[in-house]
């Protein structure tokens, strides 16, 4: 089995940045298939454009733009790239980084796909910061926040909350559902869902759905056939001005500027 050293990613790396125990790479996937291998450090893979299939000992993930994967160090996996352009952003984290911030290195174990939109939006922020000068402190802070966001207790989760989590994460149109529709889907009263949601999701339902819409919009930025106004409409924003306002509040940059930075598209 192949062992990959720090910063060694299969494909054409267009950006390589090392700082403070982190290695960040912006890579185009060029090989149609990569056999079983593992990396010496824990790392995140964030799909920016295109498609990739990734398998580990337990699951196989069919990933597209906006999908976020985490691999603990030395966890074996393989990759298959369907035809077309695929690009990923990777963050490798050595044990010294965890030590300096008094964080346990096993905050996330195994090879997993992280579905929470808040974590994905955080990764989009980290990607944007990686394109700036003197970004070390900002990236460290954002990554600490990201790890903090993965610590969500699922013990004693009521069945309706588990069903709702699956619905919100797996249904591509869930960001458009009304409170009444979500409550009917998990068979509880809408008022109870609204009041209990923050207990199990650490935020209000309206905020969570807004994050889902923003994450969905970002995943569509690479589609040349969609204008920003079309993306805003597809993701359920009332109008483009509402989309711009919500986007800037989270990403601290306009959708137009972010799309230009991400893909080079300027429309």
Across the chain, mean pLDDT equals 89
Residue for token pair 């990607």: 127
15-69 pLDDT, tens digit per residue, is 999 999 999 999 999 999 999 888 888 899 999 999 999 998 889 999 999 999 9
CA contacts within 13 A on the Cβ side of 115: 12
- Smallest Cα–Cα separation from 168: which of 155, 152, 186, 147? 186
What was the pLDDT predicted at 5?
A: 55
Q: Where are the domains of the chain?
A: 2-150, 159-263
Task: Give CA–CA dist 9/28, Å, rounded.
Answer: 10
- Look at the alpha carbons of 60, 145, 234, 264 in this order and tell me if their dihedral is positive or negative: negative
Considering the segment(s) 2-150 as one domain, its CATH architecture is: Sandwich (2.60)
What was the pLDDT predicted at 133?
A: 80
What was the pLDDT predicted at 139?
A: 95
What was the pLDDT predicted at 235?
A: 94
CB atoms within 10 A of CB 199: 9
Task: Give CA–CA dist 76/187, Å, rounded.
Answer: 40
Query: Model pTM?
Result: 0.91
Do 2-150 and 159-263 fold alike per CATH? Answer: no
CA contacts within 13 A on the Cβ side of 44: 27
Would you write out the chain's pLDDT as a tens digit for each of its 267 residues?
A: 555 555 566 678 889 999 999 999 999 999 999 998 888 888 999 999 999 999 988 899 999 999 999 988 778 889 999 999 999 999 999 989 999 998 887 777 778 899 999 999 999 999 999 998 888 899 999 999 998 877 655 567 899 999 999 999 988 888 889 999 999 999 999 999 999 999 999 899 999 999 999 999 999 999 989 999 999 999 999 899 999 999 999 999 999 999 999 988 766
Superfamily per CATH, domain 159-263 = Homeodomain-like (1.10.10.60)
Using alpha carbons only, give the angle 128, 133, 135 rounded to the nearest 5 degrees.
Answer: 60
What was the pLDDT predicted at 156?
A: 74
Task: Give CA–CA dist 103/164, Å, rounded.
Answer: 30
Structure token pair of residue 247: 């986007």
What was the pLDDT predicted at 7?
A: 54
Backbone angles phi, psi at 230, to 5 degrees: -70, -40
Task: Give CA–CA dist 209/206, Å, rounded.
Answer: 5
Task: Give CA–CA dist 255/257, Å, rounded.
Answer: 6
């Amino acid at each position: 089995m192949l062992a990959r050293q720090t910063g060694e990613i299969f494909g054409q790396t267009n950006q390589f940045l090392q700082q403070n125990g982190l290695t960040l790479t912006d890579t185009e996937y060029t090989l149609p298939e990569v056999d079983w291998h593992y990396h010496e450090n824990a790392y995140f893979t964030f799909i920016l454009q295109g498609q990739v299939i990734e398998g580990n000992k337990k699951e196989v993930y069919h990933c597209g733009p906006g999908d976020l994967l985490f691999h603990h160090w030395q966890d074996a996996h393989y990759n298959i790239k369907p035809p077309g352009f695929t690009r990923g952003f990777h963050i490798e984290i050595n044990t010294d980084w965890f030590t300096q911030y008094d964080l346990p290195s096993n905050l996330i174990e195994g090879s997993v796909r992280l579905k929470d939109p808040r974590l994905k939006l955080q990764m989009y922020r980290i990607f944007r910061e990686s394109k700036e000068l003197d970004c070390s402190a900002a990236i460290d802070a954002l990554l600490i926040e990201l790890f903090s966001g993965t610590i969500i207790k699922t013990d004693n989760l009521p069945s309706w909350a588990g069903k709702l989590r699956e619905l919100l994460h797996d249904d591509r149109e869930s960001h458009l559902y009304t409170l009444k529709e979500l409550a009917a889907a998990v068979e509880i009263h809408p008022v109870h869902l609204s009041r209990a949601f923050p207990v199990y999701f650490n935020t209000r339902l309206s905020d969570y759905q807004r994050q889902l819409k923003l994450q969905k919009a970002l995943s569509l930025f690479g589609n040349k056939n969609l204008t920003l106004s079309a993306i805003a409409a597809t993701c359920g924003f009332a109008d483009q001005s509402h989309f711009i306002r919500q986007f800037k509040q989270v990403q601290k940059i306009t959708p137009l500027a972010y799309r230009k930075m991400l893909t080079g598209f300027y429309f």
